[in-house]
């Protein structure tokens, strides 16, 4: 898994990437400057909640491109895991997408990875419970309901 | 408008379209359009004779000689569009023959000067002893005294055709007297070798069959480029564009895996 993250990290403009399984496990190679594992968890939780809301709306989106003033965050949400990539604004999106597609294909062909993910629930619903959300997000979820 | 002949310049040269229209004694207008700059050009025929051409600020023969070099974009021939204007007096046979020579001359230098918009600078070196510069060569070189200029800008200054300036500039570069300027460098991207496209095509033929070449050219054209001028840094986007045309997900990933390796080997 880490070797695949390393390949993603090697794309020009990528600061760091990490994987977040739906059961809460976080896998990463390196931390982006100024960030720690706790912040990775927070980012991952936000991404999964966002994906869970879209799942509920019936839109199964697999690629999210979140643009910020000083960077971009790409999130690739698969059935039971998510790849989150922190980038500079000028990252080559086509190269990144190509690398991620190949990394996902390699991961999913890997027996160990298949074994690991087979035990994880594919639904992200548990991330949309009130205890897991801040009041603002919860209000949004209630609107969707 | 009733186009009887239209298509992409990626597949047929302007000069060959004209030869076809001339041999058919056609009347009408050949409209050419470069997509990326929204530039257009027109060549009019009457009874199979080329009588009028316009392109930007050029009219007549200069416009004709500019337009025959266009190798990407679209063309459309409309037999109902005629004109009373006559800006070309030269015999059409002679014009086509000169046009063919110009096109061939351009093909020889386009790997050195892939665009008329790239800026050049003087290197400051003395001409090597085996290089004898003519008056026009000095004129072109001297325009670079004041700073970096593109072929288009030099042609405007000297009131000369771009192809003539480009040919001289290519010779000056080969003699080490001119080089691509700093402001031109970001525009002058490293281009993909023809070898890369042969490999790409061979791989794609294995996956999707004989339409591979058409798909590659369509995607390239979508970027407003040609195989000759395609920049290296756009390869990932090219691969992505071609991948989208492969409908079998397993074959799509196999193609991406292969291309990712090739891209990495280019660096």
Q: Best-predicted range by mean pLDDT among A52-56, A116-120, A138-142, B236-240?
A: B236-240
Of the listed ranges A20-29, A117-126, B23-32, B138-147, the one predicted with least confidence: A117-126
Per residue in B215-253, pLDDT (tens digit) is 998 888 877 777 877 888 889 989 999 998 898 989 999
Residue B94 and residue B16 share a domain: yes
Position B119 scores a pLDDT of: 87
CA atoms within 13 A on the CB side of B10: 21
State both tokens at A93. Answer: 């999106």
Per residue in B87-107, pLDDT (tens digit) is 999 999 999 999 998 888 888
Share of chain B above pLDDT 90, in %: 36
Residue B105 and residue B18 share a domain: yes
In 10 A of CB B127, how many CB atoms? 15
In a domain, B189, yes or no: no
Residue B169 and residue B127 share a domain: yes
**8 A C-beta contact, residue A85 and residue A70:** no
Query: Which DSSP letter does residue B191 get?
Result: B
Per-residue pLDDT band at B78 (split at 50, 70, 90): very high
Q: Which fold has domain A2-140?
A: Beta-Lactamase (3.30.450)
With contacts defined as CB-CB under 8 Å, which chain B residues touch A103?
none
- How far does the CA of residue A124 sit from the closest CA of chain B (Å)? 25
Residue B20 and residue B74 share a domain: yes
Residue A21 sits at φ, ψ, to 5 deg, of -80, 155
With contacts defined as CB-CB under 8 Å, which chain A residues touch B257?
102, 105-106
Position B183 scores a pLDDT of: 63
Phi-psi region of B25 (alpha: psi -120 to 50; beta: other; left: phi over 0): left
In 10 A of CB A99, how many CB atoms? 25
Per-residue pLDDT band at A8 (split at 50, 70, 90): very high
In a domain, B164, yes or no: yes
Asked whether the predicted pLDDT for residue B19 surpasses 90, the reply is yes
Per residue in B154-169, pLDDT (tens digit) is 987 888 877 889 989 9
Chain A: residue nearest B257 by CA? A102
Q: How many CB pairs under 8 A join A and B?
A: 29
State both tokens at B179. Answer: 């080089």
Position B186 scores a pLDDT of: 40
Burial of B100 (0-12, 13-18, 19+ CB in 10 A): middle
In a domain, B186, yes or no: no
Of B29 and B146, more confident: B29
- How far does the CA of residue A52 sit from the closest CA of chain B (Å)? 25
The reply to whether residue B257 touches residue A105, judged by beta carbons under 8 angstroms, is yes
Position B106 scores a pLDDT of: 82
Chain A: residue nearest B249 by CA? A105
Closest by CA position to A89, among listed A14, A36, A34: A14
Per-residue pLDDT band at B267 (split at 50, 70, 90): low
Domain that holds residue B258: 194-266
Asked whether the predicted pLDDT for residue B189 surpasses 70, the reply is no
How many separate domains does chain B show? Answer: 3
The reply to whether residue B253 touches residue A97, judged by beta carbons under 8 angstroms, is no
CA atoms within 13 A on the CB side of A53: 15
The reply to whether residue B263 touches residue A98, judged by beta carbons under 8 angstroms, is yes
For residue B172, give the CATH number of its domain: 1.10.10
Position B122 scores a pLDDT of: 92
Q: At what angle do helices A93-109 and A2-9 cross, to 10 degrees?
A: 170
The reply to whether residue A105 touches residue B253, judged by beta carbons under 8 angstroms, is yes
- How far does the CA of residue A3 sit from the closest CA of chain B (Å)? 15
Position B188 scores a pLDDT of: 45
Residue B97 and residue B43 share a domain: yes
With contacts defined as CB-CB under 8 Å, which chain B residues touch A105?
253, 256-257
Per residue in B192-218, pLDDT (tens digit) is 877 888 889 999 999 888 888 999 988
In a domain, B187, yes or no: no
Asked whether the predicted pLDDT for residue A47 surpasses 90, the reply is no
Residue B96 and residue B10 share a domain: yes
State both tokens at B225. Answer: 């480029």
Over residues B21-28, mean pLDDT: 93
The secondary structure element, H or E, covering residue B46 is strand B39-46
With contacts defined as CB-CB under 8 Å, which chain A residues touch B260?
98-99, 102
The ipTM estimated for the assembled molecules is 0.80
CB-closest option in B233, B237, B256 to A101? B256
Asked whether the predicted pLDDT for residue B151 surpasses 70, the reply is yes
Residue B72 and residue B148 share a domain: no
With contacts defined as CB-CB under 8 Å, which chain B residues touch A98?
236, 239-240, 243, 256, 259-260, 263
Helix (H, G, I), strand (E, B), or coil: what is residue B179? strand
The reply to whether residue A98 touches residue B233, judged by beta carbons under 8 angstroms, is no
Among the three residues B122, B149, B180, which one is the final residue of a domain in this structure? Answer: B180
Chain A: residue nearest B259 by CA? A98
Residue B173 and residue B97 share a domain: no
Asked whether the predicted pLDDT for residue A81 surpasses 80, the reply is yes
Asked whether the predicted pLDDT for residue B181 surpasses 70, the reply is yes
Over residues B116-129, mean pLDDT: 86
Q: What is the mean pLDDT of chain A?
A: 86
Tell me how far apart the alpha carbons of residues B262 and B95 are, in angstroms, rounded to a whole number.
44
Per-residue pLDDT band at B255 (split at 50, 70, 90): very high
Residue B128 and residue B149 share a domain: yes
B253 touches chain A (CB under 8 A): yes
B266 touches chain A (CB under 8 A): no
In a domain, B188, yes or no: no
Stated pTM of the model:
0.54
Position A95 scores a pLDDT of: 93
Q: What is the mean pLDDT of chain B?
A: 86
Residue B86 and residue B162 share a domain: no
Share of chain B above pLDDT 70, in %: 93
Q: How far is CA A99 from the centre of its chain?
A: 15
Residue B155 and residue B126 share a domain: yes
CB-closest option in B233, B237, B260 to A102? B260
Query: Which DSSP letter does residue B95 get?
Result: H
Residue B136 and residue B97 share a domain: no
Among the three residues B154, B180, B206, which one is the final residue of a domain in this structure? Answer: B180
Asked whether the predicted pLDDT for residue B149 surpasses 70, the reply is yes
In a domain, B84, yes or no: yes
């Amino acid at each position: 898994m880490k070797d695949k993250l390393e390949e993603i990290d090697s794309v020009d403009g990528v600061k760091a990437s990490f994987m977040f399984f739906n059961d809460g496990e976080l896998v990463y190679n390196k931390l982006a400057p100024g960030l720690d594992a706790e912040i990775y968890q927070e980012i991952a939780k936000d991404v999964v909640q966002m994906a869970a809301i879209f799942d509920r709306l019936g839109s199964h989106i697999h690629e999210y491109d979140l643009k910020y003033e000083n960077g971009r965050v790409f999130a690739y949400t698969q059935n039971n895991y998510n790849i989150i990539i922190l980038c500079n604004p000028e990252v080559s999106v086509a190269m990144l997408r190509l690398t991620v597609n190949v990394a996902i294909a390699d991961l999913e062909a890997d027996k160990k990875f298949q074994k690991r993910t087979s035990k994880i629930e594919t639904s992200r619903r548990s991330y949309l419970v009130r205890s897991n959300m801040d009041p603002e997000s919860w209000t949004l979820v209630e609107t969707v309901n | 408008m009733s186009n009887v002949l239209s298509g992409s310049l990626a597949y047929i040269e302007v000069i060959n379209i004209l030869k076809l229209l001339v041999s058919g004694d056609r009347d009408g207008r050949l409209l050419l359009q470069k997509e990326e700059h929204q530039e257009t050009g027109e060549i009019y025929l009457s009874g199979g004779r080329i009588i009028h051409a316009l392109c930007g600020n050029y009219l007549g023969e200069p416009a004709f000689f500019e337009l025959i070099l266009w190798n990407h974009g679209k063309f459309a021939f409309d037999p109902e569009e005629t004109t009373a204007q006559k800006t070309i007096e030269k015999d059409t046979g002679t014009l086509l023959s000169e046009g063919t020579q110009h096109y061939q001359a351009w093909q020889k230098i386009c790997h050195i000067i892939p665009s008329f918009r790239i800026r050049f600078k003087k290197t400051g070196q003395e001409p090597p002893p085996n290089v004898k510069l003519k008056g026009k060569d000095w004129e072109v070189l001297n325009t670079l005294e004041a700073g970096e200029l593109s072929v288009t800008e030099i042609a405007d200054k000297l009131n000369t055709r771009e192809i003539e300036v480009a040919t001289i500039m290519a010779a000056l570069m080969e003699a080490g007297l001119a080089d691509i300027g700093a402001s031109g460098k970001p525009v002058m991207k490293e281009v993909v070798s023809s070898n890369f496209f042969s490999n790409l095509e061979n791989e794609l033929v294995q996956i999707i069959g004989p339409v591979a070449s058409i798909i590659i050219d369509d995607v390239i054209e979508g970027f407003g480029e040609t195989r000759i001028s395609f920049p290296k840094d756009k390869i990932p986007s090219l691969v992505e564009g071609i991948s989208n045309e492969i409908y079998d997900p397993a074959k799509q990933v196999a193609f991406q895996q292969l291309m990712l390796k090739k891209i990495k080997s280019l660096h």
